[in-house]
């Protein structure tokens, strides 16, 4: 008993001997704003302390451009919301720029967050000449650095907001996607296993929020976000997910609700009960009104009513075809045995019927009715553009027709492409050049390598899919054709000037969309990933120009395809024209990157009562420029690295020893100690150490 008493005294004396800064609160995860309205914004931060109390009071302040305070108050960070803070600020002016910050009230005071910026939307009834925003999707920690975020922050002089279309983070453990061998950042991912529980998802968010490029972009403008599948589990649908095993991972609904709760805790969203611990809620479709210029509808296509996308071949169509070829011992895809050709045609016809099934859904009836009602109101209010931000590619994209691509180019180029095709399908033996620039494949980049039997089968399956016009992926609207028609019908009053934004596929696609009668009713701009690997990693033996040409040859309404670059796109909107610019970064392996304008497309508006005659068009190269510096300096500093994060080494060591000596002695409520230590350890690393992550 005397030992316990002396232990307690020693700990208290040790604590008292530490400088006041030991009890300073910090903002390791930066700040963010989101879901802007004409008079309101959501502000977000997270307070961090090595020994977190039950509650922490934080003051928030909003300033106008002159530096005058226009709103302020206090909020409590509590354990029930993982010490995140979200506040809704009302009473703001329309179309106005503001800055904001947070500061700790408890502790020794003086702790202040980075400063953030946001702009409110225009008044819904106002005449608005122009809007500009950037669109991102699919940011995977392991696959590379978030250079696209940095490029947008540095190179865009002004954006009204930025959009993330989902896969904001990935649920996988460090051995899955990517594997450790594939990972650019093989260390630092927390938790060190797949996220399943509420604590897991919170920790995964916290890890991503340590990324300096995400922090800078988040501080620069308001975020409009919607989840895709990896915020919960790969290929999620309403009642389960491809990457969920009830036997080992428990009840799916509980997992989904935990993921949604963490999502709303860690992002500046309006959904959920702000200030209450109940953040569980998946009804998150909503509308942003940009004056009379545009109505933007953010759709939810994953959680509410999506039917299973993986009923055929577990979602791996090429794998299913490859298995058929293996069973029939096919080696020459240009001379198929009659029975194999018949089976493949039957497979194509089955897939065509499957994707047209009426019972395959993406949207709930509530959401469809909401879309119909809101788009009708927008069109009747003479709003020029109706924009749809959602997760998955809407165009009907068949796999690349490689032979047709070779037929459409000059003879010298065609000869090289045909040689690639023959080599990739193992028609000239099992050797081919690897064209993939992916970091984990760079060792063989532009070198001739041996193809495995699996490689040969996969490439042959891809070649056949192009010939048979089999869809590239059924986990897109192409796998839900009846549902797409229901969506088109719901938006019939708004199809005069409709544009769809999509993510998910990790590659860039720009298409004209047609209704069942063949009329162009919309344009689609689908963006590539921030860092996640694309087609170039599973079809590495065909060059990017051949793959893009093959997709264009197979899909007449596809205007642009880029199958190897990471990046984002920027939308510059006027009443006359919707202009989309694809921006790519040359690599994600290090932070020493260059950014390029890859392509620009324009889609002109048509007036009330006019019939649309022209679709979106791809502009020539000289029109592709976005201004600003083109290089992201490799030596840019990590967010938050510096002396502000005090290291209480003697105190921590003493406390650890005492805790080992006196089990059960509770001096502070130590919540997720391992997590906090790793946060701070990461922030205290040298720049060189962090760049190795």
Q: For residue range 261-274, what is the model confidence (pLDDT) as tens digits?
A: 999 999 999 875 43
Residue 671 pLDDT: 43
Give the start-to-end residue ranges of the domains of the chain. 2-18+648-691
pTM (predicted TM-score): 0.89
- Work out the pLDDT band at 187, boundaries 50, 70, 90: confident
Sequence length of the chain is 693
- Work out the pLDDT band at 10, boundaries 50, 70, 90: very low
Beta bridge partners of 600: 581
Using the structure block, give the residue that is written with the tokens 């080696």: 331
What is the rounded distance in angstroms from the CA atom of residue 261 to the CA atom of residue 159? Answer: 29
The answer to whether 508 touches 393, Cβ cutoff 8 Å, is no
| Token pair in block for residue 223 | 């975020």
What is the rounded distance in angstroms from the CA atom of residue 233 to the CA atom of residue 254? Answer: 12
Three-class secondary structure assignment of 570-599:
EEEEECCEEEEEEEEECCCCCCCEEEEEEE
Is the four-CA dihedral 247, 250, 255, 256 of positive or negative sign?
positive
Q: Is pLDDT at 298 greater than 80 in this prediction?
A: yes
Lowest-confidence segment of 4-18, 280-294, 591-605 by average pLDDT: 4-18
What is the rounded distance in angstroms from the CA atom of residue 183 to the CA atom of residue 141? Answer: 9
Residue 626 pLDDT: 56
The region, left, alpha or beta by phi > 0 then psi within -120 to 50, assigned to residue 679 is alpha
**3-class secondary structure, 136:** strand
Q: Which long-range contacts (CB under 8 A, 24 or more apart) does 308-312 make?
A: 308/237, 308/239, 308/240, 309/235, 309/237, 309/474, 309/475, 309/479, 310/235, 310/242, 310/475, 311/354, 312/351, 312/354, 312/474
For 479-533, the pLDDT digits (tens) are: 999 999 999 999 997 778 999 999 999 999 999 999 999 999 999 999 999 999 9
Q: Is pLDDT at 11 greater than 60 in this prediction?
A: no
Highest mean pLDDT among 305-309, 483-487, 670-674: 483-487
| Token pair in block for residue 35 | 């879901």
Residue 315 pLDDT: 82
How is residue 676 annotated by DSSP? Answer: H
Scored b (16 or more CB within 10 A) or e, 231-253 reads bbbbbbbbebbbbbeeeebeebe
| Token pair in block for residue 253 | 């609904």
What is the β-pairing status of strands 448-450 and 431-433? antiparallel
- The CB density around residue 381, as the number of other CB atoms within 10 Å, is 12
For 573-584, the pLDDT digits (tens) are: 999 999 999 999
Percentage with pLDDT > 70 across the chain: 83
The answer to whether 560 touches 567, Cβ cutoff 8 Å, is no
Q: Is pLDDT at 185 greater than 60 in this prediction?
A: yes
What is the rounded distance in angstroms from the CA atom of residue 404 to the CA atom of residue 558? Answer: 15
Residue 683 pLDDT: 47
What is the rounded distance in angstroms from the CA atom of residue 200 to the CA atom of residue 222? Answer: 26
Residue 608 pLDDT: 86
- Work out the pLDDT band at 684, boundaries 50, 70, 90: very low
Q: Is pLDDT at 89 greater than 80 in this prediction?
A: yes
* 82: Cβ contacts below 8 Å, ≥ 6 apart: 46, 202, 206, 262, 265, 266
Average pLDDT, the chain: 86
CA neighbor of 499 nearest in space, from 398, 609, 612: 612
Percentage with pLDDT > 90 across the chain: 74
CA distances from 2 to 11, 216, 428, 651, 653 (A): 14, 52, 83, 22, 22
Q: How many CA atoms lie within 13 A of 107 on its CB side?
A: 28
Q: Is pLDDT at 647 greater than 50 in this prediction?
A: no
Q: How many CA atoms lie within 13 A of 178 on its CB side?
A: 24
- Work out the pLDDT band at 284, boundaries 50, 70, 90: confident
Lowest-confidence segment of 87-96, 228-237, 636-645, 660-669 by average pLDDT: 636-645
Q: Is pLDDT at 693 greater than 50 in this prediction?
A: no
CA neighbor of 136 nearest in space, from 646, 677, 401, 506: 506
Task: Give me the mean pLDDT over the 303-313 stretch.
Answer: 88
The terminus-to-terminus CA distance of the chain in angstroms comes to 46
Residue 623 pLDDT: 60
Residue 621 pLDDT: 61
What is the rounded distance in angstroms from the CA atom of residue 553 to the CA atom of residue 398? Answer: 10
**What value, to the nearest 5°, has the Cα angle with vertex 477 and ends 473 and 481?**
110
Beta bridge partners of 133: 161, 571
CA neighbor of 251 nearest in space, from 240, 262, 263, 264: 240
- Work out the pLDDT band at 622, boundaries 50, 70, 90: low
Residue 108 pLDDT: 59
């Amino acid at each position: 008993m005397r030992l316990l008493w002396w232990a307690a005294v020693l700990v208290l004396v040790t604590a008292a001997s530490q400088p006041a800064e030991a009890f300073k609160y910090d903002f390791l995860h930066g700040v963010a704003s989101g879901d802007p309205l004409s008079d309101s914004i959501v502000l977000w931060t997270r307070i961090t302390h090595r020994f977190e109390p039950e509650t922490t009071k934080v003051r928030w302040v909003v300033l106008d451009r002159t530096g005058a305070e226009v709103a302020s108050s206090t909020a409590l960070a509590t354990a029930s919301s993982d010490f995140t803070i979200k506040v809704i600020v009302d009473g703001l002016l329309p179309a106005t720029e503001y800055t904001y910050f947070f500061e700790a009230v408890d502790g020794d005071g003086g702790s202040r967050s980075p400063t953030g910026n946001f702009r409110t939307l225009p008044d819904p009834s106002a005449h608005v000449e122009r809007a500009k925003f950037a669109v991102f999707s699919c940011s995977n920690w392991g696959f590379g650095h978030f250079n696209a975020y940095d490029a947008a922050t540095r190179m865009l002089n002004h954006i009204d907001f930025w959009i993330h279309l989902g896969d904001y983070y990935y649920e996988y453990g460090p051995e899955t996607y990517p594997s450790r061998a594939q990972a650019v950042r093989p260390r630092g991912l927390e938790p060190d296993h797949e996220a399943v529980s509420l604590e897991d998802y919170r920790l995964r968010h916290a890890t991503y929020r340590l990324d300096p490029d995400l922090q800078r972009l988040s501080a620069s403008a308001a975020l409009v976000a919607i989840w895709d599948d990896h915020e919960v589990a790969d290929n999620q649908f309403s009642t389960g997910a491809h990457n969920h095993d009830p036997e080992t991972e428990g009840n799916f609904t509980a997992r989904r609700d935990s993921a949604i709760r963490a999502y709303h805790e860690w992002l500046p969203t309006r959904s959920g009960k702000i200030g209450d611990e109940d953040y569980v809620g998946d009804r998150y479709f909503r509308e942003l009104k940009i004056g009379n210029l545009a109505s933007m509808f953010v759709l939810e296509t994953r959680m509410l009513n999506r039917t299973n996308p993986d009923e055929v071949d577990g979602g791996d169509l090429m794998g299913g075809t490859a298995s058929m070829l293996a069973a029939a011992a096919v080696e020459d895809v240009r001379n198929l045995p009659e029975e194999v050709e018949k089976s493949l045609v039957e497979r194509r016809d089955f897939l065509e019927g499957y994707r047209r099934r009426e019972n395959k859904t993406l949207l709930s009836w509530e959401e469809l009715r909401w879309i119909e009602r809101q788009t009708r109101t927008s069109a009747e209010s003479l709003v020029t553009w109706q924009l749809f931000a959602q997760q998955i590619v809407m165009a009907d994209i068949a796999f690349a027709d490689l032979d047709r691509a070779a037929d459409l180019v000059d003879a010298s180029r065609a000869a090289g492409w045909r040689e690639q095709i023959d080599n990739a399908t193992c028609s000239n033996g099992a050797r081919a050049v690897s064209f993939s620039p992916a970091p984990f494949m760079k060792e063989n980049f532009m070198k001739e390598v041996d193809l495995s039997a699996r490689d040969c089968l996969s490439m042959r399956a891809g070649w056949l899919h192009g010939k048979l016009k089999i869809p590239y992926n059924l986990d897109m609207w192409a796998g839900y054709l009846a549902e797409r028609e229901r969506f088109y019908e719901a938006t019939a009053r708004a199809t005069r000037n409709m544009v769809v934004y999509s993510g998910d596929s990790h590659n860039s696609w720009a298409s004209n969309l047609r209704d069942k009668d063949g009329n162009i009713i919309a344009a689609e701009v689908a963006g590539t990933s921030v860092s996640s690997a694309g087609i170039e990693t599973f079809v590495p033996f065909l060059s990017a120009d051949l793959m893009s040409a093959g997709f264009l040859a197979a899909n007449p309404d596809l205007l642009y395809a880029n199958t190897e670059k990471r990046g984002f796109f920027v939308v510059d909107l006027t009443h006359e024209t919707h202009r989309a610019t694809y921006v790519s970064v040359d690599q994600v392996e290090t932070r020493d990157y260059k950014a390029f304008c890859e392509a620009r497309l324009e889609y002109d508006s048509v007036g009330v009562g006019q019939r649309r005659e022209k679709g979106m068009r791809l502009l020539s190269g000289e029109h592709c420029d976005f201004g600003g510096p083109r290089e992201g300096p490799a030596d840019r500093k990590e967010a938050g690295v510096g002396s502000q994060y005090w290291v209480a080494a003697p105190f921590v060591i003493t406390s650890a020893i005492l805790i080992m000596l006196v089990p059960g002695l509770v001096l502070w409520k130590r919540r997720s100690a391992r997590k906090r230590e790793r946060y701070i350890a990461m922030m205290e690393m040298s720049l060189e150490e962090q760049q190795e992550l």
